Amino acid sequence: MVKLTNSTQIVLDRPLTQDEASWIVSVLFLSGGLGFILSSYLVDSIGSKYCVIFSGVTRLVSALLFIFAREVWMLLLGRCINGLSEGLLVAAVPVYSSEIASKEIRGALGTMLQIFASIGSVIMLSVGPFVSYFYLNLMYIILIVFISIPTVFLPDSPQFLYSKGKHEESRKVLIYLRGSEFLADEELKLLSANNNVKLNLISTFTNKTFLSSIMIAAFVVVSIHFSGFNCVLTYLQTILNLTHTNLKSEMGSVVIGVIQVTAAFSTMLITDKFGRKPILVVSAGGMALGMIGLGTFFKLQESEVEITGFLNFLPLISLIIVVYCYSAGLGSLLWVLLAELFDDHSRGVGVSTALLIGVLPSFVTVRYFTAVTEAVGEPATFWFSSAVCLVLAAFILYQVPETKGRTFKEIQDALKGEGNS
């Protein structure tokens, strides 16, 4: 956005207006909804593996549009296609990782989505400010090709193979993943029992347990979008430019990106030890603290109070708290939680539906973030986000079941009220 709106570094035929820039940022969240809808069908028909492969192809198309863009519509189209790819990916990957992992490592493996998303952020934040628009997108194309080729060689998930009648192939994959014929055969028994239930959308969406899972997942997803993290990350350089520290906004972005990766790695190490709920509650509470700090800083600016000493670093410290707490909890474990809340036959449609419900809130918060801050001020905006984070922490504490170390059946029993929460 800094390059595209800069009148001295014209990438397109002319600099973007702020309204055009906000559309380019936010349209991805709308088109992502189409990706969620597609994934709910494709995960069950072709499998989550091929959804991931297809997302790589669509991402490459969007990158080519970016690099050859000379008009605004080309950027908008590229972002729409990019959103479709994102929607497919973030819906399919949690399903795939939950289906190939044993219950002992399901949480750690599920956090890998956030880890590699954070690594992507670090690469873009570290390189983006210092190279031209063309070379940044050329690097993007190379990375897409580099990371997409290995996905072709991934095995299909055992659940998908079994659901398609490929029982022996499913067993071979399970033996490879579990390293034991005994464990593979035990898991096949569970697959056989679950496979007797066929997906029927009407019966699925009228099932009380499924509806409980959807309500929990939807509340968490919508709250995360209103927590303000996407806005903070999208307008990171703009926020850093408003501070009075000697840290350049470009370097501040790099620091924030590194913190994301560090936080995501730390969660991978502890999630299967401490459980999902404690980490999620602390994550939401920490984000609330960081948002309060940001709101306080901007309130002091509005009041024309002299900002010196520690107060100069308050926004940077608050940003670090927000980014670390999000990446170490809500950002990493959301994907794990979504996949674990649903049983085998409804997981694809359940995850996609929960993410689809979050499309409008995600679009609204990013598209109108600038307009809202201009209308009510930055302090009120960030304090509202902190209140959302506190409500989310309370909801997780009292309404979300602990899924660590449980089979999918045990989680479903807990949702029915037949097990410990």
What is the percent of the chain where pLDDT is above 70? 90
Pick from 404, 393, 418: which is nearest to 208 by CA? 418
Q: Which two tokens stand for residue 201?
A: 């959308």
pTM of the model: 0.74
What is the percent of the chain where pLDDT is above 90? 17
Q: How many CB atoms lie within 10 A of CB 182?
A: 9
Confidence of residue 250 (pLDDT cuts 50, 70, 90): low
Flag whether pLDDT at 208 surpasses 70: yes
Q: Which two tokens stand for residue 52?
A: 């991931």
For the chain, give the mean pLDDT. 82
Residue 72 has a pLDDT of 86
Residue 391 has a pLDDT of 95
- Show the 3-state SS of the chain: CCCCCCCCCCCCCCCCCHHHHHHHHHHHHHHHHHHHHHHHHHHHHCCHHHHHHHHHHHHHHHHHHHHHCCCHHHHHHHHHHHHHHHHHHHHHHHHHHHHHCCCCCHHHHHCHHHHHHHHHHHHHHHHHHHCCHHHHHHHHHHHHHHHHHHHHHCCCCHHHHHHCCCHHHHHHHHHHHHCCHHHHHHHHHHHHHHHCCCCCHHHHHCCHHHHHHHHHHHHHHHHHHHCCHHHHHHCHHHHHHCCCCCCCHHHHHHHHHHHHHHHHHHHHHHHHHHCHHHHHHHHHHHHHHHHHHHHHHHHHHHCCCCCCCHHHHHHHHHHHHHHHHHHHHHHHHHHHHHHHCCCHHHHHHHHHHHHHHCHHHHHHHHHCHHHHHHHHCHHHHHHHHHHHHHHHHHHHHHHCCCCCCCCHHHHHHHHCCCCCC
Q: Which residue has the tokens 């192939």?
A: 169
Confidence of residue 374 (pLDDT cuts 50, 70, 90): confident
CA 355 to chain centre: 10
277-302 pLDDT per residue, tens: 899 999 999 999 999 998 888 888 77
Range among 65-79, 111-125, 303-317 rated most confident: 65-79
Mean pLDDT, residues 144-152? 91
Mean pLDDT, residues 165-181? 88
First to last CA, the chain: 45
Superfamily the domain 18-154+197-415 falls into: MFS general substrate transporter like domains (1.20.1250.20)
Flag whether pLDDT at 141 surpasses 90: yes
Confidence of residue 242 (pLDDT cuts 50, 70, 90): low
Pick from 381, 391, 392: which is nearest to 296 by CA? 381
Range among 181-185, 351-355, 385-389 rated most confident: 385-389
CA 389/CA 106 separation, integer angstroms? 26
Residue 59 has a pLDDT of 92
38-83 pLDDT per residue, tens: 887 888 788 888 989 999 999 999 999 988 888 888 889 999 999 8
Contact 158, 174 (CB under 8 A): yes
Residue 308 has a pLDDT of 67
Amino acid at 136: L
